[in-house]
Structure 1
Amino acid sequence: MIRVLLAEDMHMIRAALTALLRLESDLEVVAEVTRGDEIVPAALRVRPDVAIVDIDLPVLDGITAAAHLREVLPTCRILVLTAMGQPGQVRRALSAGIEAFLVKDAPGDRLADAIRRTAAGLRVLDTELVASAMEYGESPLTPREATVLRETARGASAEEIAARLHLSAGTVRNYLTGAITKTGARNKIDAIRIAEDAGWL
């Protein structure tokens, strides 16, 4: 029996995935969480063989949470799910040593097969996603530029970001200008769109 931890914040999707996996005689969902910061504590409690992690989780994103899980519980294999195959996210997942990366609109039998292959120690990566990631390249943004752009995308002002990061508002604006320049954007809204589409945020 393959023990599965499921991390998905959307209730209907999580319920559907759980119901789908219950149809498989060799798969058992042993824990369900809705936030990225809940993954490691739950995994340490139930010791799953495979963690299915949504890429867009609240509090802590799926790839960051998966990387933490990999450090503290290396016996647990990780399968990352995403609604969109963003090239930058695929690159982040590969760099974090994620074993499997699957889009959410894959057929149900493909998900079950991916879990089995991941549990067996195999890498399960969509070839088109990987090719797209290699073509798109690494993020040109520094970690600080990405943070400032991410906070801007959430609606925070330069002053709010400055207070949060212990910087001056002018420094925050400089980071934002750098992000706009490096993404080839016309303005901050365009930079956010480009960076999100590429999966750099």
Structure 2
Amino acid sequence: MKVIIAEDQGMLRGALSALLDLEGDINVIGQAENGEHALELIQKLTPDLCILDIEMPRLTGLDVAEIIKESGLPCKVVILTTFSRSGYFQRAMRAGVQGFLLKDAPIEELSAALRKVHGGGRAVSPELALTFWDAQNPLTAKEQEILKLISQGLSANEMAKRLFLSSGTIRNYVSEILQKLDAKNRIDAIAIAEKNGWLN
């Protein structure tokens, strides 16, 4: 199988590439240091599979996965992450990602996951799967939208105008958000939601 690795840390990218190349059935045909470069390589080299770091400059791994899906490119996607945020996982699933693995997983686990994904299966690190199961986003789409507007500094009146709601309705939403997140105030609510990846 032909594989491209996109990872902004050069040492890790080189180590992954060297270790995977030792596997008889895996051939690393390209390496990228950011999401934009990864996308160029995917379009040019048509790999079977790409390994994308979730947080990279220019385009994140999730951005690249979404573009691959929208463009109908045949390349399968495995995301590598150090973050166990359920919002990231949900966004990855929507983008059609087939693998979601921890960066510090042993190389045997990664190569086994690549084979599984290449064969049409899915692979998620067990540690991540448990975390995501426990941490479903409690906020509705409207509550997420309102919290995003709060994070942009909009007042209740400004939000009411933008969303065609009354100021009282906005205040009700805000109090519901604070209650659901067990947050002390709006700033705390934003911090909790961002930490869990619930504002993606």
What's the TM-score once normalised by structure 2's chain length? 0.75
Of 189, 194, 198, which aligns to 1:196? 194
Compared with structure 1, are the counterparts of its residues 196 and 19 closer, same or farther at alpha carbon in structure 2 (3 Å cutoff)? farther
Q: Could you list the per-position Cα deviations for residues 8-43 of structure 1 after superposition, in whole angstroms to 9, with x for gaps in the alignment? A: 111121111112112112111112112223332220
Alignment of 1:50-69 (within 5 A): 50-69=49-68
Is the 1:90–1:130 contact (alpha carbons within 8 Å) kept by the matching residues of 2? no
Q: Does 1:186 align with 2:184?
A: yes
Is the 1:86–1:199 contact (alpha carbons within 8 Å) kept by the matching residues of 2? yes
The CA distance in 2 between the partners of 1:84 and 1:51, in whole Å, is 19
- SS at structure 2 position matched to 1:84: coil
**Cross-structure match for 1:101:** 100
Alignment of 1:1-201 (within 5 A): 2-138=1-137, 140=139, 142-143=144-145, 145-146=147-148, 149=151, 181=178, 183-187=181-185, 190-200=188-198, 201=200
Structure 1 position 76, deviation (Å): 0.8
The CA distance in 2 between the partners of 1:41 and 1:104, in whole Å, is 23
Compared with structure 1, are the counterparts of its residues 19 and 79 closer, same or farther at alpha carbon in structure 2 (3 Å cutoff)? same
Q: Look up the equivalent residue of 1:87 and give its one-letter code.
A: S
| Equivalenced residues, count | 183
- SS at structure 1 position matched to 2:24: coil
The CA distance in 2 between the partners of 1:85 and 1:105, in whole Å, is 13
Is the 1:44–1:73 contact (alpha carbons within 8 Å) kept by the matching residues of 2? no
Q: Could you list the per-position Cα deviations for residues 81-116 of structure 1 after superposition, in whole angstroms to 9, with x for gaps in the alignment? A: 101222221122122221111011111111111111
Percent identity over paired residues: 33
Residue ranges of structure 2 left out of the alignment (5+ in a row): none
What's the TM-score once normalised by structure 1's chain length? 0.75
Compared with structure 1, are the counterparts of its residues 43 and 199 closer, same or farther at alpha carbon in structure 2 (3 Å cutoff)? same
The CA distance in 2 between the partners of 1:40 and 1:11, in whole Å, is 18
- SS at structure 1 position matched to 2:80: strand
Residue ranges of structure 1 left out of the alignment (5+ in a row): 153-157, 163-169
Q: Could you list the per-position Cα deviations for residues 32-86 of structure 1 after superposition, in whole angstroms to 9, with x for gaps in the alignment? A: 1122233322201000101101111122221121121123244211101101222
Is the 1:63–1:92 contact (alpha carbons within 8 Å) kept by the matching residues of 2? yes
Is the 2:150–2:186 contact (alpha carbons within 8 Å) kept by the matching residues of 1? no
Is the 2:8–2:34 contact (alpha carbons within 8 Å) kept by the matching residues of 1? yes
